[in-house]
Amino acid sequence: MTPNKEDYLKEIYKLGGAEKLVGNKQIAEVLKIAPASVTEMLIKLSHEGLLHYEPYKGSCLTKEGLQIAITLLRGHRLWEVFLMRHLGYSWSEAHEDAELLEHITPPRLSGRLDKFLNYPAYCPHGSAIPHSDGQIDRKPLRPLVQLAAGESSHIRKVAEEKELLDYLQSLGIEIDGAVTVASIGPYEGPLMLDLDGRQVQVSHKAACQIYVDER
Amino acid sequence: MTPNKEDYLKEIYKLGGAEKLVGNKQIAEVLKIAPASVTEMLIKLSHEGLLHYEPYKGSCLTKEGLQIAITLLRGHRLWEVFLMRHLGYSWSEAHEDAELLEHITPPRLSGRLDKFLNYPAYCPHGSAIPHSDGQIDRKPLRPLVQLAAGESSHIRKVAEEKELLDYLQSLGIEIDGAVTVASIGPYEGPLMLDLDGRQVQVSHKAACQIYVDER
DNA sequence: TTTGTAAATTAGGATCGCCTAAATGAAGGG
DNA sequence: CCCTTCATTTAGGCGATCCTAATTTACAAA
Which architecture does CATH list for B3-61? Answer: Orthogonal Bundle (1.10)
Q: Is the pLDDT of residue A88 over 90?
A: yes
Statement: residue B215 has pLDDT above 90: no
Amino acid at A122: Y
Gap from A57 CA to C27 C1', in Å? 12
Nearest CA to CA, how far is B168 from chain A (Å)?
A: 22
pLDDT, average across residues A85-107: 98
How does pLDDT run across B86-101, given as a tens digit for each residue?
A: 999 999 999 999 999 9
* Tens digit of each residue's pLDDT (9 = 90 or more) over B172-184: 999 999 999 999 9
- Residues 52-71 on chain B lying near strand C, CB distance under 7 A: 53, 55-56, 58
| Topology classification of domain A141-213 | SH3 type barrels. (2.30.30)
Q: Is the dihedral of CA B45, B49, B53, B54 positive or negative?
A: positive
How much is the pLDDT for A113?
98
The CA–C1' separation of A51 and D8, in angstroms, is 18
- Of A87, A100, A116, which is closest to B104 when you measure between CB atoms? A100
CB A101 within 8 A of CB B104: yes
Average pLDDT estimate for B104-117:
98
DSSP string, A86-135: HH---HHHHHHHHHHHGGG--HHHHHHHHHHTT--SB-TTSPBPPPTTS-
Which residues of chain A does B87 touch, with a Cβ-Cβ cutoff of 8 Å? Answer: 109, 112-113, 115-116
Q: Which is it for the CA torsion B79, B81, B85, B90, positive or negative?
A: positive
Work out the end-to-end distance of chain B between its first and last CA atoms, rounded to an integer number of angstroms: 41
| Residues B129-141, mean pLDDT to the nearest whole number | 95
Contact state of B97 with A113 under an 8 Å Cβ cutoff: no
Average pLDDT over residues A126-130: 98
Interface of B with A (CB under 8 A): 86-89, 93, 97, 100-101, 103-104, 106, 108-109, 112-113, 115-116
**CB distance A116–B86 less than 8 Å?**
yes
For range B115-143, the mean pLDDT: 97
Q: B-chain residues within 8 Å CB-CB of A93?
A: 108
Q: Strands B152-158 and B178-184, how do they pair?
A: antiparallel
The C-alpha angle B111, B115, B117, rounded to 5 degrees, equals: 115
Average pLDDT of the residues of chain B: 96
Domains B3-61 and B66-116 share a fold: yes
Distance B33 CA to D23 C1' (A): 20
The answer to whether residue B50 scores a pLDDT higher than 90 is: yes
Nearest chain A CA: its distance from B66 CA (Å): 24
Is strand C less than 7 A from the beta carbon of B35? yes
Residues with Cβ within 8 Å of residue A92, at least 6 apart in sequence: A162, A165, A166, A169
Q: Which pLDDT tens digit goes with each residue over A13-72?
A: 999 999 999 999 999 999 999 999 999 999 999 999 999 999 999 999 999 999 999 999
Cβ(B50)–Cβ(B65) below 8 Å: yes
List pLDDT tens digits, range B136-147: 999 999 999 999
CATH topology of domain B66-116: Arc Repressor Mutant, subunit A (1.10.10)
Q: How confident is the model at residue B9 (pLDDT cuts 50, 70, 90)?
A: very high
Q: How far is the CA of B44 from the C1' of C3 (A)?
A: 35
Q: Where are the domains of chain B?
A: 3-61, 66-116, 141-213
Q: B85 pLDDT band (50/70/90 cuts)? A: very high
Q: How far apart are CA A9 and CA A6, in angstroms?
A: 5
How far is the alpha carbon of B115 from chain A, nearest alpha carbon, in Å? Answer: 8
Question: Which nucleotide minimizes the distance between its C1' and the CA of B54?
Answer: C8
What average pLDDT is seen over chain A? 97
- Compute the half-sphere exposure of residue A23: CA atoms within 13 Å on the CB side of its CA: 4
- Binning pLDDT at 50, 70 and 90, where does residue B198 land? very high
Please name the member of A88, A101, A113 whose beta carbon is closest to the beta carbon of B87.
Answer: A113
Percent of chain B with pLDDT over 90: 98
